[in-house]
Amino acid sequence: MTEQESRNLDRKDKLPSTRFHKVIEITTLVILMTMVIYPIIVWGTLPAKLPMHYNALGEIDRWGSKLELIIMPVIGVLMYGLMTLVSAYPSTWNIPVTVTRENRIRVYQCTKSMLVLMKLEIIVIFAYLEYMILHLQALASSFLGVVIVVVFGTIIFSIVRMYKVARRRVEKIE
């Protein structure tokens, strides 16, 4: 990060995105757009009742009107928007390590990586649920376990990484 970008962070401007962040963002947006468009395409072929809730084993335990299907993409879009807004402004984050002038860029980039990955994970979960609803199928019995491992795995990995990058010293080139 350049000195100008560092000064911008002093003024609480947006944190610049890395190439990794941009790839994840584009992937997430494509999945989100698919979540919105696909139900519109198949709307006319859907039955009046669709599975609307699953128990912990992935079994369908409530059926509802196909109008309820609108909730999934709406929540997905709202979550995407809110998480995008939050991930852009490091001054709003509650970070578990001490942020210093020396480590803040690394810590902020690490935190932003966690946020964009979690955004992708959440949208993928919603898209998978929507797909299973549209195809009148139960979820895999391992679905809940996989979701918990993936989401909490990302959080734990990111926090450990944050501690590591917060302690690392910046090497100065003379």
Smallest CA-to-CA distance from 158 within 84, 90, 106 is with: 106
Asked if residue 92 has pLDDT above 70, the reply is: yes
7 three-class SS: helix
pLDDT of residue 45: 95
**Could you give the C-alpha distances from 122 to 19, 50, 74, 75, 79, in angstroms and in order?**
21, 22, 13, 11, 9
Q: Are the C-beta atoms of residues 88 and 14 closer than 8 Å to each other? A: yes
> Could you report the per-residue pLDDT of 98-112, keeping only the tens digit for each?
888 888 888 899 999
pLDDT of residue 89: 81
> Could you report the per-residue pLDDT of 26-75, keeping only the tens digit for each?
999 999 999 999 999 999 999 999 999 999 999 999 999 999 999 999 99
**Is the pLDDT higher at 7 or at 145?**
145
Residue 35 CA to chain centroid, in angstroms? 15
> Could you report the per-residue pLDDT of 115-169, keeping only the tens digit for each?
999 999 999 999 999 999 999 999 999 999 999 999 999 999 999 999 898 887 6
**Could you give the C-alpha distances from 65 to 53, 88, 127, 136, in angstroms and in order?**
12, 37, 18, 13
Residues 72-88: b if buried by 16+ CB within 10 A, e if exposed: bbeebbeebeebeeebe
Asked if residue 174 has pLDDT above 50, the reply is: no
